[in-house]
Chains A and B, each alone.
Chain A
Amino acid sequence: MTAPAWLAEAGRWLEERVGLSQFVELGRHKQVPLHKHSVWYYMGGMTLFLFGIQVATGILLLLYYRPSEGEAFESVQFLMARVPFGWLIRSIHSWSANLLVFVLFLHMFSAFFLKAFRKPRELTWLTGVALMALMMGFGFSGYLLPWNTLAFFATQVGTEVAGRVPMVGEFALRLLRGGDQVTGGTLTRFYGIHVAILPALTTVILGVHLMLVQKHGMSVPPKIEAESERTGEPLRSHAFLPNFLIRDAIGWCAALGVLAGLAAVFPWELGVKADPFASAPAGIRPEWYFGWMFQSLKMLPPHILGFEGEVLGILAISAAGLVWFAVPFLDRSPKPGNRVSLAFVASGWLALVYMAVTTAMVYWPVKG
């Protein structure tokens, strides 16, 4: 089947001005390694796809959302009850935000365990961790926007956590809340952060991250590399275009199906409008990806060695975040059999198990 003459002519016109064939050629020449861990290569593309869903549904939500204390809840209520498919757009936005964080965690932990951060990909890791922080920021700021009770107290606690960081806490708290308390001013501020500041930062850092992935190609795990060197067999690979991209696209279609199913069967609830002078309701908890921090702060005793428990907890979580960020500079010899490198793998598994267990405790609290 040949393209109609007008389409071929339009293609030629575009080619003369843009040179799209260069990009197609680049995609055909780009090779993606094939080995037993190749499945993890698809997580980055999946995260990017879900981010695209977030942008598209987020823009649609902006058309009805009103970022003020008096109107935010009502505007979301109107969107869900009266606007055709408003419930679907909001549910897809909320579900894809959660799936995005889940897939991002898979992407990040697979990069960690397969040592994809090693030279020369240190900056790819740093920009990736920065993107994870930005996505958590999107989740935290977006959670408040419907101005419901759960969101109000989650923001109260979350900003208070930032406020307890020694030295910079007070500044951070007022910066985030736009005052001393969580008010309509905080809502407006979070809206600005969610729809302008974070997207701008994400565009720049994501651009650098993708450029670095393109420059260095996919990382091959050290064990696979060592095995190839030992046997003398070259690594298998396939072309990014079309082989890898087609498989990626199949995953995206599946993700879209899962999202549509989740949104239709479990529409995202709106809850009860926030009342700053109401008690925190029973069963209050943050989004699941903040669950491990929430549970950790819950389990700490009031005082440890003369310091307030939550302050030490917040410092420990901040230190863990810094270590995670600096992994490429700490795990400097990620070769098979290297003891330090193995210790990092073990620590990664411990961290993962700790996060999974404490998150489970948020949903299934231990009685007694």
Chain B
Amino acid sequence: MCASVLYPVLRYLVPPDIPEAQTSRTVACREGELKANEGKIFAFGGRAALVIRGEDGEYKALSATCTHLNCTVQYRGDLKQIWCACHNGFYDLSGHNVSGPPPRPLEAYQVNVVNGDVVVSKS
């Protein structure tokens, strides 16, 4: 009897698994929007992503979710690294974890400039 009462309650407490709309391509910003050595957070599907314009003018895009404990990272132009303020984790411009507690690299995305838009896509 306990199980027949508890089971529906437990199932009720955990929300249904609603699959996110699969976004594989989005516009991160306009081509001239970012100066060299600048980064910007943008929404990629339901998650935060980071586009960076390096000093050479090249664009890079990565997941902005820190692999340590899920904080949103930012680009530090002064250090030319990606930084997570929550636990002081650092990644290089390719998303590799270089210091601090993050255990894995950030997921990297493809970037193309199409008709003046910086388009980010998952490979």
A residues near B (Cβ < 8 Å) are 153, 156-157, 160-161, 164, 171, 174-175, 178-181, 185, 276-284, 294, 297-303, 308-310
> Interface 1/0s, chain B 29-71, versus A by CB < 8 A?
0000000000001110011100000000000000010001111
B6 at the interface (CB under 8 A from A): no
Whether A284 contacts B14 by the Cβ 8 Å rule is no
Give bound CA distance, A157 to B73, whole Å: 13
Give bound CA distance, A282 to B15, whole Å: 33
Instruction: Give 12 A-B contacts (CB < 8 Å), ordered by A residue.
Output: A185-B15, A279-B41, A280-B73, A284-B85, A297-B69, A297-B87, A298-B87, A298-B101, A301-B101, A302-B97, A302-B103, A303-B103
In this complex, what residue of A is CB-closest to B43? A277
Q: Enumerate chain A residues within 8 angstroms of B43, measured Cβ to Cβ.
A: 277
Using A179-B15, A298-B101 as known contacts, say yes or no to A157 and B74 having CB atoms under 8 A apart.
no
Using A175-B14, A276-B48, A282-B85 as known contacts, say yes or no to A157 and B71 having CB atoms under 8 A apart.
yes
B102 at the interface (CB under 8 A from A): yes
Q: Enumerate chain A residues within 8 angstroms of B71, measured Cβ to Cβ.
A: 153, 156-157, 280, 284
Whether B41 contacts A277 by the Cβ 8 Å rule is yes
* B interface, size bucket: 20 to 34
Whether B103 contacts A161 by the Cβ 8 Å rule is no
Interface centre among A181, A280, A308, by most chain B C-beta atoms within 10 angstroms, is A280
Whether B74 contacts A279 by the Cβ 8 Å rule is yes
B13 at the interface (CB under 8 A from A): yes
Chain B min CB distance to A27 (Å): 40
B113 at the interface (CB under 8 A from A): no
> Interface 1/0s, chain B 72-103, versus A by CB < 8 A?
11100000000011111000000001001111
Give bound CA distance, A318 to B91, whole Å: 29
Interface centre among B64, B69, B102, by most chain A C-beta atoms within 10 angstroms, is B69
Chain B min CB distance to A251 (Å): 38
Whether B86 contacts A300 by the Cβ 8 Å rule is no
Whether B101 contacts A278 by the Cβ 8 Å rule is no
Known: A179-B18, A181-B47. 7 other contacts (CB 8 A): A156-B70, A185-B15, A277-B48, A298-B101, A301-B101, A308-B103, A309-B103
Whether B86 contacts A157 by the Cβ 8 Å rule is yes
Whether A279 contacts B72 by the Cβ 8 Å rule is yes
Interface centre among A277, A281, A299, by most chain B C-beta atoms within 10 angstroms, is A277
Q: Top 6 A-B pairs ranked by shortest CB distance? A: A279-B74, A160-B70, A302-B103, A298-B87, A280-B71, A280-B85
Whether A278 contacts B68 by the Cβ 8 Å rule is no
State which of A178, A185, A299, A310 has its C-beta within 8 Å of the C-beta of B68. Answer: A310
Using A300-B101, A302-B97, A309-B101 as known contacts, say yes or no to A175 and B13 having CB atoms under 8 A apart.
yes
